[in-house]
Amino acid sequence: MEAAGKVTSIFVYPIKSCRGISVSQAPLTPTGFRWDRQWMVINNKGRAYTQRNEPKLALVQIELPNEAFLEGWEPTGSSYMVIRAPGMQALKIPMSKPRDTVDGVSVWEWSGSALDEGAEASNWFTNYLGKSSRLVRYNAESETRPVDPEYAAGQITMFSDGYPFMLLSQGSLDALNKLLKEPVPINRFRPNILVDGCEPFSEDTWTEVRINKFTFQGVKLCSRCKIPAINQDTGVAGPEPNETLKQIRSDKVLRPGRKQQGKIYFGQNMVCKDNLTEGNGKVLKLGDPVFVLKKVTSAAEAAA
């Protein structure tokens, strides 16, 4: 069987809606890549802040210890996540588990309790955003956040919008950029896995792929909000690429026979079908080949 492409970038986004980290390998867990969307910033009602309402989050940079992406690594007392943003002192968050919890934390339809990263982090984000904020960490020991069972029953995630993984191809980005006056970088779309070597938009049709020795299910086309229109270097929104995506990637164009929801699609949401709780070797690496095991004939047949 010939590979459809290979993994050329792996991105992990430790704090929801803040900048991602490009890594050479990432351990797989039942909720997605390790550390991915494990933290988020919330308002005084416990609701998640995202770039949709706080585009300044785009400028918040995260640094984790390099060894955090090695298999089996556990934080010690001297392991920190370092957070930086324009005009702010660096904030160091210990990676060992905080003791305090905060209840009534919500992201979309899910609510539960989370671990509270404390007063210093709260003050930092409150000052940066100019409104009451707290930094919280997902508490996997007490909480379970299922993905939409209509698409992937039994799968779970942390603070991502909907699913543990999002895959996109370089071909799709290149095809879009050919139509734009000013090309956009991959960070507009916040994928976890970038694949090169396949035709543009071929990932639309992938319902089952194998990467390394792991089987991923393509559960639905990724519908896009306004975040791709926010410049990740400035935090300023513009019309593109969303205007162009409306012309070429709307449900009207891709799924003319289906119920229209006025959505635009770019990338494929995925879950891993393997048992990722126990054992070694559960890591994706740059250069891993991608084999397509099952696919549909077009985006019109894909779930969305």
Contact 192, 32 (CB under 8 A): yes
pLDDT score for 278: 66
Helix and strand counts by DSSP (H, E) for the chain: 5, 18
Query: What domains, with CATH codes, occur in the chain?
Result: 3-12+146-301 (2.40.33), 36-141 (no CATH)
pLDDT score for 8: 98
User: How far apart, in whole angstroms, are the C-alpha atoms of residue 239 and residue 243?
Assistant: 6
List the chain residues with pLDDT less than 50. none
Cα–Cα distances (Å) from 194 to 7, 37, 254, 285, in that order, read 6, 18, 22, 11
User: How far apart, in whole angstroms, are the C-alpha atoms of residue 96 and residue 93?
Assistant: 9
pLDDT score for 49: 98
Cα–Cα distances (Å) from 220 to 164, 205, 217, 229, 246, in that order, read 12, 9, 9, 22, 18
pLDDT score for 279: 63
Q: Assign residue 109 a region: left if phi > 0, alpha if psi is -120 to 50, beta otherwise? A: alpha
One-letter amino acid identity for 238?
A: G
For the chain, the helix, strand and coil percentages under 3-state DSSP, each to the nearest 5: 20, 35, 45
Strand 214-223, strand 265-272: pairing: antiparallel
Would the pTM of this model clear 0.85, i.e. be above it? yes
pLDDT score for 277: 75
Among 92, 87, 31, which Cα is nearest to 62's?
A: 92
For 210-244, the pLDDT digits (tens) are 999 999 999 999 999 999 999 999 999 999 999 99
Strand partners, 221: 268
For 172-212, the pLDDT digits (tens) are 999 999 999 999 999 999 999 999 999 999 999 999 999 99
